[in-house]
Amino acid sequence: MTGPLQDITVVDLSRALAGPHAAMMLGDMGARVIKVESPTGDDTRGWGPPFVGPEDDPISTYFLSANRNKESITLDLKSDDGRDVLTRLVQRADVLIENFRPGVMDRLGFGNERLHELNPRLVVLAISGFGHDGPQGGRAGYDQIAQGEAGLMSVTGPDADTPQRVGVPIGDLLAGMYGAYGVVSALHERNTTGTGRVVRTSLLAAVVGAHAFQGTAYTVAGHVGHAQGNHHPALSPYGLFHCADGDVQVACGSESLWVKLANAFGIDPATPGMATNRERAANRDRVTAALNEAFSTWRLDDLLPRLDELGIPAGEVRTIDRVYDWDQTRSQGLVLDVDHPVLGSIEIPGPPIRLDDNAFAGGRETHLAPPMLGQHNESVRAWLADEDPA
């Protein structure tokens, strides 16, 4: 193992996406992550299409997205053997991650008090749907429901009457990111205190935590934001515009950029109603129409270089395939080659962090393919048999 977390062992009891994403982030930084699955496996092993591999035992690409750099062991936590193995894992672990509904870990005999009896240095990450307490703390959490309940869908979509979910399970992903951040903070604190603590987050907390300016617009100014399509609610021009053969996104974050943009494309920047950002935001449709007309004779391959020459932040709208085939994406280590025990050599998305000037992404030089169900049953049990809890 290499990486800043190479001395950390993580027991990942979570399934689906939020918890597995947090564990994967820790694994990317070098932690040893042991994924504990039921005998039937993480639910996402059955989520698809698309599936790949043998027809009689297909492999979910959804599962592959959240479980790189992990080992898999299967345990029936309602059996004596399963509880015994988990007990020994807890005694040797630095981190335990779970995203059961509040109360499930207690019923299994592994509530937080018991976990810290077994291992006072253990950092526990508990991810729930709506929080572990409060009037609705016991609710099950699913990403799209959380996106709606936490207000994200109300500010996403073409207009206020058409709420829209984000195209990826952003609540799950954010909860995983916040959870990993909390775990690393608790591990740092443990260096001083010698004891672990329980880190909690939820899909609700994660989405509310990402409200940014939409949150303070309400809490400070009493303004309730709503969906405005592909245009920024506070800046103009800042959004998606049309040219002769496609779409271009332009971001004018200052008055000087607006002046450059307007002058270059035949628009008087001092036109009444467009002279300041406050005016342009109030007259967004008018500004958008003016730029759409100005761009209408430009092809994307000519327009983007011109905007770059002017220093105007701009970009095209890529499909997923064109993102992964893009040389810039690959130059950042965002595509990994890994050897899968069934699929052979495959490419999977890589970690979004690079340390120093390393060409590889994440904190480790080599990455593990997402495991098959129970692939490491024997090796993990052998390690537990050889290792002393101390």
SS3 state of residue 113: helix
Does the pLDDT at position 375 exceed 70? yes
Cα–Cα dist 93/89, whole Å: 6
User: Which pLDDT tens digit goes with each residue over 294-306?
Assistant: 999 999 999 999 9
What would the mean pLDDT of 324-351 be, rounded to a whole number?
96
Residue 390: per-residue pLDDT: 43
Structure tokens at 253: 């974050």
Residue 388: per-residue pLDDT: 53
Structure tokens at 360: 């590889």
Q: How far is CA 122 from CA 95, 181, 230, 315, in A?
A: 6, 16, 45, 45
- Residue-averaged pLDDT of the chain: 95
pLDDT band at 2; cut points 50, 70, 90: confident
Residues in the chain: 390
Residue 138: per-residue pLDDT: 85
pLDDT band at 361; cut points 50, 70, 90: confident
Residue 1: per-residue pLDDT: 61
Helices and strands, number each (H, E), in the chain = 16, 13
Cα–Cα dist 56/70, whole Å: 24
The residues, any chain, with a CB within 8 Å of residue 257's CB and separated by 6 or more, are: 311, 312, 313
Beta bridge partners of 123: 95
Among the listed residues 252, 278, 280, the one whose alpha carbon sits nearest the alpha carbon of residue 264: 252
Q: How far is CA 101 from CA 55, 111, 137, 141, in A?
A: 33, 12, 9, 8
Residue 210: per-residue pLDDT: 97
SS3 state of residue 138: coil
Query: Would you name the residues annotated as active-site residues?
Result: 172
Does the pLDDT at position 358 exceed 80? no
The residue extents of the domains of the chain are 9-210+329-386, 238-319
Does the pLDDT at position 173 exceed 90? yes
CB atoms within 10 A of CB 19: 26
Cβ-contact 261, 310 below 8 angstroms: yes
Q: Cis peptide before 49, with omega less than 30 degrees from 0?
A: yes
CB atoms within 10 A of CB 7: 11
Q: To 10 degrees, the CA torsion angle through 243, 245, 246, 247?
A: -20
Residue 363: per-residue pLDDT: 85
What would the mean pLDDT of 279-289 be, rounded to a whole number?
96
pLDDT band at 386; cut points 50, 70, 90: confident
Cβ-contact 323, 352 below 8 angstroms: no
CATH fold label, 9-210+329-386 = Rossmann fold (3.40.50)
pLDDT band at 247; cut points 50, 70, 90: very high
CATH fold label, 238-319 = formyl-coa transferase, domain 3 (3.30.1540)
Residue 149: per-residue pLDDT: 97
Structure tokens at 16: 């689906």
Helix/strand/coil (H, E, C) string of 264-321? HCCCCCCCCCCCCHHHHHHCHHHHHHHHHHHHCCCCHHHHHHHHHHHCCCEECCCCHH
